Amino acid sequence: MAPDASDALAVRQKVQQFLTAARTGNLDLLKTAQLDDGKGMAKTVADIKDANKRGALHFAAREGQTEVCKFLVEDLKLDVDVKDEDDCETPLLHAARQGHTVTAKYLIEHGADPSIPSDLGATALHHSAGIGNIELLSYLRSKGVEVDSGSDAGTPLIWAAGHAQPDALKVLLEHHANAAFALFPNAETEDNITPLLSAVAADSLACLESLVQEEMRNLREVIAAEGSAVPTNALPEVSPEAKRRAAEAKSRGDDAFIRKDYCMAVDAYTQRFSEAANSFYQGVQLDHDNKELVSAFREAVEDGRRFYGTDQERS
């Protein structure tokens, strides 16, 4: 092997060893690594990246290696908000996504900005909501992170509902996440995804109940503030067309399930969920105590629960 090629290989091996040490928490190797190429150790380490431009701090944060983060941030003075090239994610985002609360708190306490999003708009609050990390979720809120911050996949409330995290969803609602205006049909994503429909898709009855209760509470407050009741002649009636579409969707889903065409069944049941969610939202705004509306909605959800439960047993 030519000398230049040999030297290049040796450098790559040192870089890989250094990033591996950051990931595994090998502080001794990090502190003794012979990497200084004349620019100073801090600058040299800052320039060490993998193919996705992730540096030692990204790897340490992702693996919850808080002591390594301390060395890199406090001793080498690395930029705590440096972004990788993959999704423009900071070390804090890596830590939050993996649920490393101690590491995430350390980074914030040493200057990390918790409001910085990835290229997709996701913040540390989105990730903590999606994995149900209540401790980190509450901590981020205490730091003033926007509870309704959007992303390509919706708000933190949608992330909590879509990942079946009822405790996280309740925390967000307690911090006034805008559930009332996030429900169908006021879509928050290009795919018309809302907290309500996300909870249906995740088969989370607990999240559904919390969202419904919050909507009812909001409506009662509006009515109380206006000092008027909803006139009885304004009470909604689900249109025959909506009933027909829902019934047809359920029939197609049942037939597809019998044929073991599970993909078709999912599509059909999902359409029924959407019909129920639409009718429920339109109705509950005018009649927030209408038990028939709630029962119809829950019936559609239970159809899905039975299907998904059977499908999971099958798989």
The residue extents of the domains of the chain are 10-113, 121-228, 237-315
267-273, long-range: CB < 8 A, 24+ apart: 269/303, 269/304, 269/307, 270/200, 270/201, 270/304, 271/245, 271/246, 272/246, 272/300, 272/303, 272/304, 273/197, 273/200, 273/201, 273/300, 273/301, 273/304
**CB contact at 8 A, 36 and 45:** no
**CB contact at 8 A, 184 and 212:** no
Q: How many CB atoms lie within 10 A of CB 276?
A: 27
Q: Which two tokens stand for residue 110?
A: 């040493």
pLDDT at 272 over 70: no
pLDDT at 269 over 60: no
> Distances in Å between the alpha carbon of 283 and those of 101, 172, 226, 258?
41, 25, 19, 33
Which CATH architecture best describes the domain 10-113? Answer: Alpha Horseshoe (1.25)
Whether the domain at 10-113 and the domain at 121-228 fall into the same CATH topology: yes
Q: Helices 124-131 and 134-142 meet at what angle, rounded to 10?
A: 150
Quick one: CA torsion of 251, 252, 253, 258, rounded to 10 degrees?
90
Average pLDDT score, the chain: 75
What does the pLDDT average to over 137-166?
87
pLDDT at 86: 78
* CA distance linking residue 118 with residue 253, whole number of Å: 38
pLDDT at 45: 76
Residue pLDDT, tens place only, 156-215? 999 999 999 999 999 998 876 655 444 433 344 556 677 888 887 888 888 888 887 777
Max mean pLDDT range (37-46, 102-111, 150-159, 266-275): 102-111
What does the pLDDT average to over 62-78?
95
pTM exceeds 0.85? no
Q: Which residues of 182-208 are buried (b: 16+ CB within 10 A; e: fewer)?
A: bbbeeebeeeebbbbbbbbbbbbbebb
What does the pLDDT average to over 68-81?
94
* CA distance linking residue 123 with residue 111, whole number of Å: 16
Residue pLDDT, tens place only, 205-245? 888 888 877 776 766 665 566 555 544 444 445 556 656 66
Superfamily of domain 121-228, CATH level 4: Ankyrin repeat-containing domain (1.25.40.20)
pLDDT at 136: 97
- Which band of pLDDT confidence, cut at 50, 70 and 90, is reported for residue 152? confident
pLDDT at 2 over 80: no
pLDDT at 62: 96
pLDDT at 130: 95
pLDDT at 125 over 70: yes
Of residues 32 and 206, more confidence is placed in 206
**Which 3 state secondary structure label does DSSP give 118?**
coil
Of residues 129 and 243, more confidence is placed in 129
> Sign of torsion, CA 224 227 231 237?
negative
